[in-house]
Structure 1
Amino acid sequence: MMVTQGKRWILWCFALMFAASSQAAVSDKSLNELLSASGVEQMVNEFPQTVKLGLVEAFKQQPDTSQKEVDDMIRAMDETIVPEQIIAEIKQSLSEKLSDAEVSSLLAWYRSPLGRAFTEAESNSSTEEAFAAMSQEAPALLKRKALMDQVGQIETLMDLTTLTVDFFEKVQLAVFAGLMSVMEPQAPVGLEVMQKELDAVRKQSEANVEQMMKVSLAYAYKDFTPEEMDKYIAFLSTPEAKKFNLTATQSMFNSLEKSFHNWAKKMGADVDEV
């Protein structure tokens, strides 16, 4: 009897393990679709390359920069800023925060015609051509009070300004340390001084970023009706959407921050205190 009961417990445990394994596989597949449908995967794949191009251009403008130094910097970036790793960390964070029911609810929106239209509009607004057009249209967009009020709600719901300013401050410190270690390897990096400078302009940075975010969102959503915008805001206000956006954004920024720290270390910088 005890042996039989023991066998039952073993079989029951195996059944639970199998069920958990099967559930994880389905969940992983759903997360892959969610990251693709929401545009997060595309954003992560494009962002590191954009940042690398900007850093390379800034580095080339420094006096006495050799091609070897530029090549070393690019190589270090390719080794440390890896989209696949960033996406894996986002998926891990989401798997710990979202339930299967929440993922299904999110996918229902992103699979819908309106959900796909918003994701496509956000993607189309992230190109260099779109940025140039946005700059030209900004004055007119700012006069569209109803639209600006709605994008203000979206910006607040996603906490974009605070997250973005926090992220770029940390990245600036890491990048500064990496560049200084190459240009002036014998000189102290002086991160404390730069941190004070960043703190001094924090409020202005937040105001500038908030304005930029709102104009960018307004440009992306300028062709949607107020009713369609209200539907998007209603979706973003749901607990699962709030959790998804906050978790994905924080995870992406945290992963990118670590990538920049690793890049700075490869360039010879001591960024333990960044």
Structure 2
Amino acid sequence: MRALSQVKPALLFLMLVCTSATASPLADSVLRASPIDEIIAQYPAMMSQGVREGLKQSGRVEPFVANTISNVVSNAFSVAQIRAQVVEDLNQGLSDQQLNSVLAWYETPLAEKISRAEVAASRPAAWKKVEAAATDLQEKYEGSERAKLFERFDRAARATESTVDTTVAVQLGLASAMAAFNGSKGPTFEQLQQKIESQRGMLRGMVAQQVYVGYLYTYEELSTSELKDYVEFLESDAGSAFTRVATSSIQRSITDPVESVGSQLTRFFNPQ
């Protein structure tokens, strides 16, 4: 289990947010206008990088093997399929009025500014920058109105909740790899899965602090007034429905392929 403990909770709270997209033009337009469309495209690389780092830190596999496994993980996640599922779920879960309200918000200059910030901060290359700035950011905003606004943001954006789910998905991907690599000599995927799920409470505590730092980093260029406007959108009927449906859809789309990762790796390590 040491390898699993080495996987840091990714600062991926920005990622909150099956028919073809042409069957639902309004939902497709909403997704294109939101930052989620660009962020979804980063999921395969994010999952792959999380597994690769966990394997290398474990010290139990050669770098070449870790890279091979991470490539299998990356290929298990289809951006097109994730996107199509989100479009379908938005079409089914939101009314046209709600979708139009969300679209109108994302077409505003403020929303465009926020979207650029969220996409930039969600890239894996930005994670180390966020971690490096953590102490300074927390000291800078301690006791500020921006810091006090975080609780509302976190609740409305489902930020910590979604990041825990995403982190669990990364760890399950790593568990699949470790179970396949160990074969009959180590714990099964089911045993590792049970262990990971039992640690959700502890994981939430770790993630919450990282989500807070990510929030401070991502929206630092926004004024407090602008940040309040964004939180009010997230708390609105349309914004809340959009966040809830998109978040649930993405989490399901990245969790479902985990078992296929395990079966592919089992064939790789234990060819018949």
User: Structure 2 length as normaliser, TM-score?
Assistant: 0.78
SS in 1 for 2:24: helix
Tell me what 2:165 maps to: 166
2:54–2:174 CA contact under 8 A, matched in 1: no
Distance in 1 (CA, whole Å) between partners of 2:203 and 2:51 is 20
CA drift of 1:214 comes to: 1.2
SS in 1 for 2:266: coil
Structure 1 residues 173 and 146, CA gap change in structure 2 (3 angstroms) = same
Shift of residue 220, structure 1, vs aligned partner = 0.9
C-alpha separation between the residues in 2 aligned to 1:213 and 1:131?
11
Deviation at 1:60, TM superposition (A): 5.6
Contact 1:175 1:264 in 2 (8 A): no
1:89-125 Cα deviation digits (max 9, x unpaired): 1111111111111111111110000111111111122
> SS in structure 2 opposite 1:267?
helix
| Cα gap change, 1:46 to 1:128, in 2 (>3 Å) | closer
Structural mapping, 1:42-61, within 5 Å: 42-59=38-55
- 3-state SS of 2:122 partner: coil
CA distance in 2, matches of 1:133, 1:74: 23
Contact 2:51–2:173 (CA under 8 A) maintained in structure 1: no
Equivalenced residue count is 243
What secondary structure does 2:152 align onto? helix
| SS state at 1:186 partner | helix
The yes-or-no answer on 1:37 pairing with 2:36 is no
Partner of 2:261: 263
Give the conservation status (yes or no) of the 8 Å contact 1:147–1:222: no
2:202 matched residue in structure 1: 204
Please list every run of 5 or more consecutive structure 2 residues that lacks an aligned counterpart in the other structure.
1-20, 268-272
1:107 partnered with 2:118: no
1:124 and 1:130 in contact (8 A); partners too: yes
Alpha-carbon spacing, 1:99–1:222, altered in 2? closer, same or farther (3 Å): same
Code of the residue aligned with 1:124 in structure 2: it is: A
Aligned counterparts of 1:226 and 1:136: Cα–Cα separation in 2: 23
State the distance in 1 between where 2:75 and 2:131 align.
34
Q: Which runs of 5+ in 1 are unaligned?
A: 1-23, 270-274
CA RMSD in angstroms comes to 2.7
Q: Aligned in 2, Cα 1:248/1:201: closer, same or farther, shift over 3 Å?
A: same
Greater C-alpha radius of gyration = 1
- The alignment-based identity, stated in percent, is 22
